[in-house]
Amino acid sequence: MMMTVLLIIVGALIALFAIGVVSFKHPVASAVSLLVGFLLVGVFYLLYGAEFVAAVQVMVYAGGIMVLYLMGVLFTDNEWIHVTRQTHLQAWIGLVLILAFFAFFGHKLFHSEYPAIENVASQTVVQKENKAEEKLGYLKRETNPRSVSVKLFSDYLIPFEAASVLLTVAVVGGIFLAKKEV
Amino acid sequence: MDTLLNLWSTIESWMLAFPVVIYLVKIGILLGCVFAVVAYITLAERRLLGFYQSRLGPNRVGPLGLIQPVADGLKCFLKEDIVPLNSNPLLFRLAPVFAFFPPFAGFAVFTFALPWVMPNGRTYHYSVADVDLGVLFIMAISSLGIFGLILAGWSSGSKYPLFGSLRSASQMLAYEVPLTLSVISVVMMAGSFRLSDIVAAQQAYKFYFFIPCIIGFVVYFISSVAEMNRTPFDLPEGESEIIGFHTEYSGMRFAFFFVAEYANVVFISMLAPALFLGGYDIPFVNDLALYGAHPNIVSILGVCSYAAKSTIFALFVIWVRATFPRYRYDQLLKIGWLVLLPIALANLFVVAGIKLFLLK
């Protein structure tokens, strides 16, 4: 019960700050609300007991990517923001489409059953331990980096590698777009 | 003695009814200690710099100048708090808080000794929250400190603090990467993110991790000096010559940045012993065997050993400040990206090789 209330509060705050990101007129205000949003997503992961993902979320998104965003934003010219309109007539069509999208996925989310996925790859990985490590009990725990990396490099290897290819494509594309002459 | 024990068991039963109280008491003690250490490390640094430069340093307030930190604090407190007209008032007030909280929050996951055992058999741990992902938590929290600098520089509404904050932001970004990579080499040796596990691993291996990770230790030291914004990498502050991100700040808000900087020094000097120098392990003694005989003596000695190691590290940091001149900005970035980063990556391979082939 307590958990549900907390999840609803945090989820509502995330949604609020996400709206703030797109609706604030000032770019730095947008960036700061994006930062708070990232931190709150970390809290969301914590509430679900995924401490590892929460820490990585804060470290990578809040601590790394947001700094780059803010540095980019600081270089922008702040004079034009007061005269720019942020919406146009297509916004209404967009709103209708978004509502339809959420209705469709909400329906799918609540009215379908998901098959349990059996992962066997990680069970075949043999873990070697040296003499000193045999004394250390903590190596058997679930949140241990060893357990996390065994899962990551066996059961979830293909999504992991696919994400790395995606990131490489994004980096190359970014460099290509930023260059004036190729 | 008996009345004391009875009194204690009454307090204990009351505390066990409200476990939050234990945490609050621990947090209170920890924050009190950290604030005292931060106050006196400023004095120690000024006295030592005076010694290195053949002058006296502050010695007027109280015996040997021991009340100087109080005088400094009072002075900052009594000064006028100015918010520039051109600034963004909300972010201008928020930025010192962003700079202030990460080093203090990070202390929560430290373990300072093996647990203390009461006569009735209950054990008390020398830590607020010894979580599984301690090192990762520290890395995540300390990566947030940079927002204090960026927001302070931008919200001042003046050109020079803005440039100062951009300079500091790119410096801290550049040095955060090698710092994290050097810490990862220790995590790889220990196989855990929890700080007490890392110390336990060093006790089990019977050597401290600065021996296999010696390259990582050097990289850690250099990049943490840069992260703390201290000489020879003190371009963000540049107390007397360069205009830094906190130019528009005065009084108490400036003191927040100042205290945060020294809290960072204390923080790094407490983290380094846990990662590389065995933490609360007493050198040349088999702690665990002794702990079976006299737990409380080992606890107290462990705290002393930890304190001694971090004091030596902090004195070393002050010594470096007195010795080296400041780097130029392009040199600073080159050292970060082109020297320290490849070395830190190579160190990962070396440590992995040591762990795979030498330790069997």
User: Domain total for chain B?
Assistant: 1
Chain B residues lying within 8 Å of A35, measured CB to CB: 147
DSSP state of B58: S
How high is the ipTM of this complex?
0.82
Confidence band, pLDDT 50/70/90 cuts, at residue A84: low
Write the Ramachandran bin of B208: left for phi over 0, alpha for psi from -120 to 50, otherwise beta.
beta
- State chain B's mean pLDDT as an integer: 89
- Closest chain B C-alpha to A133 CA, distance in angstroms: 7
A52·B133 Cβ contact <8 A = yes
pLDDT in tens, B298-333: 899 999 999 999 999 999 999 999 999 888 889 999
Q: Is residue B13 part of a domain?
A: no
Domain that holds residue B265: 88-358
The C-alpha atoms of residue A34 and residue A14 are separated, in whole angstroms, by 9
- Closest chain B C-alpha to A95 CA, distance in angstroms: 32
pTM: 0.88
pLDDT in tens, A112-166: 777 666 666 666 666 667 777 777 777 777 667 777 788 888 888 888 899 999 9
Q: Which residues, other chains included, contact A129 with Cβ-Cβ below 8 Å and sequence gap of 6+? A: A139
Q: Is residue B193 part of a domain?
A: yes
DSSP 3-state assignment of B116?
Answer: strand
The Cβ of residue B37 has, within 10 Å, a number of other Cβ atoms equal to 20
The residue in chain B having the minimum alpha-carbon distance to the alpha carbon of residue A143 is B132
| Option in A28, A62, A143 nearest B144 (CB) | A62
pLDDT in tens, B86-123: 888 888 998 998 888 888 999 999 999 888 888 777 88
DSSP 3-state assignment of B236?
Answer: coil
Q: For tokens 């770019």, name the residue.
A: A27
pLDDT in tens, B165-204: 888 888 888 899 999 999 999 998 888 888 998 998 998 8
Taking each helix axis from N to C terminus, what angle separates B159-190 and B214-227, rounded to the nearest 10 degrees?
A: 160
Q: Is residue B199 part of a domain?
A: yes
Q: Is residue B157 part of a domain?
A: yes
Could you tell me how many CB contacts below 8 A there are between chain A and chain B?
98
The C-alpha atoms of residue B48 and residue B59 are separated, in whole angstroms, by 12
Q: Is residue B112 part of a domain?
A: yes
* Nearest by Cα to B256 from B53, B68, B113, B97: B97
Q: Is residue B171 part of a domain?
A: yes
Measure Cα distances from B176 to A72, A142, B221 in Å: 19, 28, 12
Q: Is residue B31 part of a domain?
A: no
Q: Is residue B19 part of a domain?
A: no
Helix (H) or strand (E) holding B157: none
Interior/surface letters B237-266, b for 16+ CB within 10 angstroms, e for the rest: bbeeebebbbbbbbebbbbbbbbbbbbbbb
Q: Is the dihedral angle over the CA atoms B125, B129, B131, B136 positive or is it negative?
A: negative
